[in-house]
């Protein structure tokens, strides 16, 4: 018997709960049904003209503008932060009639947290730091916890952690729960996004179970990928994770956010993800508070599409260089 659905509170942060292994083990994902549903999602809603422009603006507002390259420098991060403050050209902003627009967050390595915090001062844009031995998560637990604490001290308001995939692949859900719970405690007031690296979890059922365990441990967001795996954010995985979020909200009364990341490069793809959120989780998950898209080059294509809406012409890519 499942407990009765609870009223979802969208104002309270997910506190987590004790590990419910019965709930975790019963989680299943029918791959053929999931893939069929995911394939039909983009065609379920058609947004054109001003509606499309509005949805693309929302995609920008939900964007975690990211730089996670081995060649990152302080200058790279400052340029990214400048783009985060003004994600589209001023003439396009005025043409769209927008009073202001900003991205959801800027995501960087720990080494650049202080640079990003300084560059974004007064903007209200939070800095997210990837942590816990990103992207593989194989450092000793004590080192991963200290890395979180250091990023929080440096000013990060959000921490994107990676789980140790071995726990999920071995079905050691207690170890995964304890790990994520320790990360949540280390975050303090900073919000915790747990990266599942779904392309390395083997099955969609493992994705569903890992999603539940991370939410039980107190995750504020669950996230698909580091962007470094061979397979990153896909709509079937998104469907499984969104339904896990819905199940958790219905049973506990607490909402958890969702962040697809990796391989999302076109405006059309961002619309597909927004449609998935609308169809599976409805309007509350169409805000930066509960939905983010992790990307670095996506903004370029969105800006081109918005220029077409405003002017009727597509501009060359070089007029919209990647941040």
Please list the active-site residues: 160, 223, 259
How do beta strands 158-162 and 191-195 pair?
A: parallel
Q: Please state, in angstroms and rounded to a whole number, the distance separating the CA atoms of residues 68 and 204.
A: 27
Contact between 208 and 180 (Cβ < 8 Å): no
- β partners of residue 131: 161
What's phi and psi for 71, nearest 5 deg? -100, 15
- β partners of residue 160: 130, 193
Q: What is the CA radius of gyration of the chain?
A: 19
Beta strands in the chain (DSSP E): 63-66, 105-109, 127-131, 158-162, 191-195, 221-223, 257-259, 293-295
298-311 helix and 49-61 helix, angle to the nearest 10 degrees = 150
Neighbours of 228 (CB within 10 A): 14
Q: Please state, in angstroms and rounded to a whole number, the distance separating the CA atoms of residues 322 and 70.
A: 17
- 29 contacts: CB under 8 Å, gap ≥ 6: 203, 204, 205, 207, 208, 240
Cα 261 to chain centroid, rounded: 6
Contact between 236 and 31 (Cβ < 8 Å): yes
Q: Please state, in angstroms and rounded to a whole number, the distance separating the CA atoms of residues 83 and 297.
A: 12
């Amino acid at each position: 018997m499942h407990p009765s659905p609870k009223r979802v509170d969208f104002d309270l942060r997910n506190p987590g709960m004790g590990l419910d292994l019965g709930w975790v083990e019963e989680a299943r994902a029918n791959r053929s049904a999931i893939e069929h549903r995911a394939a039909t999602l983009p065609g379920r809603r058609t947004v054109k003209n001003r509606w499309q422009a509005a949805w693309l603006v929302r995609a920008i507002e939900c964007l975690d503008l990211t730089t996670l390259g081995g060649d990152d420098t302080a200058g790279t991060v400052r340029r990214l932060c400048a783009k985060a403050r003004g994600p589209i050209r001023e003439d396009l902003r005025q043409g769209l009639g927008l009073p202001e627009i900003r991205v959801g967050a800027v995501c960087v390595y720990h080494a650049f947290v202080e640079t990003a915090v300084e560059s974004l001062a007064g903007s209200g844009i939070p800095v997210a730091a990837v942590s816990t031995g990103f992207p593989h998560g194989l450092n000793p637990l004590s080192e991963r916890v200290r890395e979180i604490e250091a990023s929080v001290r440096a000013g990060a308001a959000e921490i994107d952690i990676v789980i140790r995939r071995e726990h999920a692949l071995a079905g050691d859900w207690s170890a995964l729960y304890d790990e994520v719970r320790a990360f949540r405690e280390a975050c303090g007031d900073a919000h915790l996004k747990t990266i599942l690296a779904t392309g390395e979890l083997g099955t969609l059922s493992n994705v569903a179970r890992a999603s539940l365990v991370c939410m039980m441990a107190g995750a504020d967001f669950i996230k698909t990928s580091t962007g470094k795996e061979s397979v990153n954010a896909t709509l079937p995985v998104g469907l499984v994770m969104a339904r896990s979020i819905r199940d958790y909200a219905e049973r506990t009364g607490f909402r958890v956010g969702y962040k697809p990341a990796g391989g999302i490069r076109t405006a059309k793809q961002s619309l597909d993800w927004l449609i998935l959120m609308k169809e599976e989780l409805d309007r509350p998950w169409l805000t930066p508070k509960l939905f983010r898209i992790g990307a670095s080059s996506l903004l370029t294509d969105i800006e081109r599409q918005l220029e077409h809406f405003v002017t009727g012409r597509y501009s060359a890519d070089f007029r919209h260089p990647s941040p």
